[in-house]
Amino acid sequence: MTNRRTTTTHRIALIPGDGIGNEVIPAARRVLDSVAARHGLGLTYETYDWSCERYASLGAMMPDDGLDQLRGHDAILLGAVGYPGVPDHVSLWGLLIPIRRGFQQYVNLRPIRVFEGVPSPLRDAGPGDVDLVVVRENVEGEYGEIGGRLGRGLPEEMAVQEAVFTRKGVTRVLDYAFSLAERRGGHLTSATKSNGIIHTMPFWDELVAERAAAHPEVPWDQEHIDALAAKFVLDPRRFDVVVASNLFGDILSDLAAAVAGSIGIAPAANLNPERDFPSMFEPVHGSAPDIAGRGIANPLGAIWSAAMMLDHLGHPEAATRVTDAIATVLAKTPVRTPDLGGTATTEEFTDALLELL
């Protein structure tokens, strides 16, 4: 038996991407380096310049063998993708979506909290009241590639887009969501629309009931998406884990991020729970062209995403250290970036957080 302490080393792929991605990812990296030093974690980074800028000069968001270059990493930390001049569907389908699908990152996890020191636009959502997670199906559903256009430019022009729900794809995301609710000691709400969408959503509901039977310890209910959206605004405190299809989860999680007070804080994880492939962590916000280059972006979304990455890599104490520092910098200091009503730069705000780490 040897007592030698082995340091875990993780290989991280950094894709800052476009706009403020290049400002928030360096901030997240400073936080990662600091927390890694304290917890004896080895993190090595490789940075990739895949972006709209690359598209403009080389005609592709990433190289043909992009996924192969990423495959050997333990995780991917991404800033934001998309910039004026390149259509959003080109940037999205040229980089983010191939990674999510190619690496079977079928769970999109978006935690939402109202922090002390960040007023919610909702009168009744105080700090500690709102603490929920949206689990969004991330690789199928309404965002499919099946469909087409007919009669372009003619009066009878039409577009057809198929939504694809598979037993395997729905079951696995439901199982993830039920298990998460169980770990949190909470309950699960399923977002549906089986009154209006007559094939896929009743199928979704049947599978929810099936998986609920396999997780008898988790209380659950379901709501139609329109009513659910209203309840997110009227009473967000009642929710814990909310599971939704790709489209419903996309919209609900942005709504929930707004309820928490700022899109600049919200994090996301694209998970391959089986760990056959690297998972990807990214703030919910985009490249914010209106403020890019000025050094005033809020880095918390990227920093919280980096904390989710640490958790996924098996370091929950290091992750909690980061989220605690986020809560403390907001509750105990007046330092804020302009989106939260302050005057601090990205760097000054990160400095304040590093001091509390």
Name the binder of 250 from Mg ion, ligand NAI, none, CB < 5-8 A by kind: Mg ion
Residue nearest to Mg ion according to CB distances in the complex: 250
From the number of C-beta atoms within 10 Å of its C-beta (0-12, 13-18, 19+), residue 90 rates as middle
CA angle (158 as vertex; 92, 166 as ends), nearest 5:
55
Q: Which of residues 231-250 bind Mg ion (CB under 5 A)?
A: 250
Cβ contacts of 61 within 8 Å, gap of 6 or more = 50, 51, 52, 54, 55, 81, 90, 91, 94, 95
Q: Does 140 bind Mg ion (CB under 5 A)?
A: no
Structure token digits, residue 198: 């007559």
Site map 329..348 versus ligand NAI, x via CB under 6 A:
--------x-x---------
Q: Are 128 and 117 in contact (CB under 8 A)?
A: no
Closest separation in Å from C-beta 147 to ligand NAI: 21
Site map 62..81 versus ligand NAI, x via CB under 6 A:
------------------xx
Stretch (H or E) spanning 113: strand 107-113
CA atoms within 13 A on the CB side of 212: 15
Q: Does 137 bind Mg ion (CB under 5 A)?
A: no
Closest separation in Å from C-beta 74 to Mg ion: 26
Q: Which of residues 154-193 bind Mg ion (CB under 5 A)?
A: none
Selected binder of ligand NAI within 200, 298, 323, 328 (CB under 6 A): 298
CA atoms within 13 A on the CB side of 231: 14
Site map 161..200 versus ligand NAI, x via CB under 6 A:
----------------------------------------
* Count of residues engaged in binding ligand NAI, rule: CB under 6 A: 22
Phi-psi region of 50 (alpha: psi -120 to 50; beta: other; left: phi over 0): beta
C-alpha distances in angstroms, 48 versus 54, 56, 72, 101, 102?
Answer: 10, 16, 14, 19, 18
Closest separation in Å from C-beta 86 to ligand NAI: 8
**Residue 63 or 84: which CB sits closer to Mg ion?**
84
Name the binder of 82 from ligand NAI, Mg ion, none, CB < 5-8 A by kind: ligand NAI
Amino acid at 27: A
**Residue 118 or 291: which CB sits closer to ligand NAI?**
291
CB atoms within 10 A of CB 233: 14
- Judged by the rule CB under 6 A, the positions of this chain that interact with ligand NAI are 20, 24, 80-83, 88, 263-264, 282, 285-291, 297-298, 301, 337, 339
- Judged by the rule CB under 5 A, the positions of this chain that interact with Mg ion are 250
